[in-house]
Amino acid sequence: MDVVNIFLTSELGESLEHFVHDHRRFTFDRLGPEGPRRLVEGPMWAFIDWVLPDLAGLEMCRRLRADPRTADAHVTMVLEEDDPEDRRRALRAGADDYVVGPLTRTAVLDRVLALQSRASERSATRRFELGALTIDMAALQARWDGEPIVLRPNEFRLLRFFAENPNRVLTRDDLINGLGKREPPIDERTVDVWIGRLRRSIKAAGGGNPLRTVRSLGYVFDLG
């Protein structure tokens, strides 16, 4: 069972500590302007109030996204009132979600539990974050350190397949099948050309080379 880490900008955490009975499943931390005070493993759920004493909530949200430690936290903005424009701003600042406040203990837990089931589905369909590389499945756009990478459709599919199987040697056959190309049969050497083109495109965007050749086997997407 995974740990669920909940970050809050308000004092609600202390009250939640007592509210929740199964302490092993949850941790709570107060979120300050410097980000989280301690590192945690497992999924992170941040609830950020729209207005904060020392910092705009939106800015806090952007900082979380920019910090590699918290970049893949699930961020919920807590709006003061139900303004469509605020909602959009929240999402645009990188929030995954929002609620209309004030935040209650049950609201936090309901939300976390409700979204938890969707989390796997979301990460599969929405967005990869792999080191400097980001892949946005909705926009079909990859970035290296925020810099857009111009990719042809096949290159994008290839990169995505690598991103789905990091740190794992993929044979040329794996790659051909992984991209769903059976008809007409593809020459295995063609994969080398795919790799070359993908590498070149990433480099053109100022990126490094995350694709390592494993002689006489295939290629690996190196991560960490």
Where do contacts with DNA occur on this chain (CB under 7 A)?
152-155, 181, 184-187, 189-190, 192-196, 199-200, 213-218
CB of 38: closest distance to DNA in angstroms? 17
Among 23, 37, 122, 203, binds its own copies (CB under 8 A): 122
Among 140, 173, 187, 206, binds its own copies (CB under 8 A): 140
CB of 25: closest distance to DNA in angstroms? 14
CB atoms within 10 A of CB 179: 16
* 193 binds its own copies, rule: CB under 8 A: no
SS3 content of the chain, % helix, strand, coil (to 5): 40, 25, 40
Q: Which residues contact 25 (CB under 8 A, 6 or more apart)?
A: 1, 2, 3, 4
What are the E-state strand segments in the chain? 4-8, 26-30, 44-49, 74-79, 97-100, 127-130, 133-136, 141-144, 147-149, 170-171, 211-214, 218-221
CB of 23 or CB of 58, closer to its own copies: 58
* 23 binds its own copies, rule: CB under 8 A: no
Contact between 221 and 211 under an 8 Å Cβ cutoff? The reply is yes
- Binding residues vs its own copies (CB under 8 A): 59, 62-63, 65-66, 68, 71-72, 82, 84-85, 87-88, 91-92, 94, 96-100, 106-107, 110-111, 114-115, 118, 122, 126-127, 136, 138-141, 148, 152-153, 167-169, 214-217, 220, 222-223
